[in-house]
Structure 1
Amino acid sequence: MTAIAVLGSTHMDLVAYTSRAPGRGETVTGRAFLTVPGGKGANQAVAAARAGGEVVMIGAVGTDAYGPLLRANLEDAGVGTGLLRTVDGPSGTAHIVVEDGGSHAMVVVPGANGTLTAIGPDERAAVAAAGLLLLQLELPLGVVTEAARGARSMGVRTILTPSPARPLPDALLDAVDLLVPSEHEAAALCGHDDPHAAAHLLLRRVPEVVITLGPKGCLYAARGGEAVLFPAPEVTAVDTTGAGDTFVGTLAVALAEGRAVPEALAWASAAAALSVQRPGASTSMPYRGEIDAA
């Protein structure tokens, strides 16, 4: 089994469910509240582990009450946490409002994640031993760039989820093999709302792109080929939080196993479709048997 290294964030998600999100200065009444382990890095690690990957997590949690819970959530999923640092201070938190129909908005407070500004010899060794490195943008940009460049120098394939969206330096994108933005993130990166046009522009900076389109599926494009739309299964969404991370984590496992791109994308789409039918982020992520049966 090919190992997958994840350098990324861990957050405790504080999730309020309501019929609609409040406007500026407005208070609305919620119908439920959940405290769920999350963070884009941890979510992708859990998704990959549940899909059958051998996963190691590189990140940081705090010394507050959330820290042990975030670590335990990863370990319960089978993720290796030997490189998950514990630093003085609070863990990261994400404050999420989920509307009826599944759409959501959030505020992320980095906490311990903001202290991860460089990787050491043990982390570099873990990346070198992996077949794939998963990256996101909830850590300081410098360490994400350092890890991507290190992976490139060691021949390790890198997948970047550019979330939250921000301008990205060439030093980072030059070391990325596969970029997986949402359609909104793709538009923010290249200034074009049309996914096909966005994919064409992004291919000037990275060799492969998968743009996720929510219920419409995903668009795959590689240099030298035509963009191809892969539809998503039709389901009724309950909570879309973590669906993109489920997709990426599962996709990483499929690619690490050597599956062809169409099969890998279909498998990842099935996993994401299962996740949106359940509440929460990491709690909604399916296991390999469920994905295979979908």
Structure 2
Amino acid sequence: MSRIVVVGSINMDIVNRVDSFPLPGETILGKGVAYLPGGKGANQAVAAARAGGQVEMVGAVGEDSFASALLDSLEGYGVGIAGVAKKPGSSGLAFITVADSGENQIILAAGSNGEVRPEDAGDSLLAGAAAVVLQNEIPWETNLAVMKACRRLGGIRLVYNPAPVRPIPEEAYGLVDLLVVNETEAEGLAGIPVSSPEEAEAAAKVLIGRGAGSAVVTLGSKGAVYAEADGASLFVPARKVKAVDTTAAGDTFIGALVVAGAEGKRAAEAMAFAAAASAVTVTRSGAQASIPSRDEIHRKLAEDDRKPE
């Protein structure tokens, strides 16, 4: 089983369900509130563990009433928590509004995620990992320190999901083995429109041109594009499902993709595995609770293979 370390955010998601999103200045009635463990880092860790990886989480929770629930959730899904520190103050919070269409809007309050320091992700936690996964919900200085450590330690595939999107310093691109972005993030980084597979491939090549070893651009219901530095690329269509909640779809895709890559699957097979995982996730409500197991991913792949053209 491949060892994967996720360094990133751990949040409590406070989820409001609504018929449709409010307009600026508008007050609407919600359809219910739920408190669900989430955070990009934690979601990706759970997704990787559910997909079959041996996963360890590195991050932080606060000293509030949410901390134990967040740690229990990670452990319950098989994620190691020895690398999770406790920081003064509140845990990270995400205020999520989900419309009946399945789309969502998210506001983050960093809390303890903003206190994750380079020393919290030291070499002893990273050494020997097949892959290390990063996002943008902890301080940049910590991400950069982890990137440099992975290069120094050697043999570690560095996967970076720069979300929420912000400019990536030039020096960092060359430290990234796989850059994973959605269409909005690809537009923000590459500076070109991204709404089709062709545009996604063009954006991926811009990012690779800056030094990334390879790139994936996800396009939601349109699928995803993978590109490599040697010019090779491929497109994987999204699986056809009825979306209920897209909250953890991207995180599930990344977690499953990292596991497939760590197991040595070829790009096309790894992308198909990740697409199937993401497709199952959007048919369920919540973040971590919606993430499928390895068996469920394989069942989805087999089910789609049996469907007539």
TM range (shorter): over 0.9
Matching of residues 157-196 of structure 1 within 5 Å:
157-193=157-193, 194-196=199-201
Is this contact kept in 1: 2:165–2:188, CA < 8 A?
A: yes
String of CA shifts for 1:61-94, please: whole Å, max 9, x gaps: 0010100000000000111101100111100000
Classify the secondary structure of the residue corresponding to 1:64. Answer: coil
Residue type at the aligned position of 1:109? A
Question: Aligned residue for 1:31?
Answer: 31
Question: Aligned residue for 2:97?
Answer: 97
Residue type at the aligned position of 2:226? Y
Matching of residues 1-294 of structure 1 within 5 Å:
1-120=1-120, 123-155=122-154, 156-193=156-193, 194-205=199-210, 206-294=212-300
Is this contact kept in 1: 2:11–2:93, CA < 8 A?
A: yes
Is this contact kept in 1: 2:248–2:286, CA < 8 A?
A: yes
State the number of aligned residues: 293
Is this contact kept in 2: 1:58–1:123, CA < 8 A?
A: no
Classify the secondary structure of the residue corresponding to 1:13. Answer: strand
Is this contact kept in 1: 2:201–2:226, CA < 8 A?
A: no
Task: Give the TM-score of the pair, scaled to structure 2.
Answer: 0.93
Deviation at 1:224, TM superposition (A): 1.8
Is this contact kept in 2: 1:9–1:40, CA < 8 A?
A: yes
String of CA shifts for 1:224-262, please: whole Å, max 9, x gaps: 224321101100100000100000001111111111111
Aligned-residue Cα RMSD (Å) equals: 1.0
Deviation at 1:32, TM superposition (A): 2.3
Identity %: 44
String of CA shifts for 1:96-135, please: whole Å, max 9, x gaps: 1111111111100000011112225x73112112110000
4+ aligned runs moved over 6 Å, structure 1 = none
- 1:18 and 1:162 mapped to 2: Cα distance? 28
Question: Aligned residue for 2:304?
Answer: none
Structure 2 unmatched runs, 5+: 194-198, 301-309
Task: Give the TM-score of the pair, scaled to structure 1.
Answer: 0.97
Classify the secondary structure of the residue corresponding to 2:151. Answer: helix
- 2:206 and 2:184 mapped to 1: Cα distance? 14
Residue type at the aligned position of 1:41? G
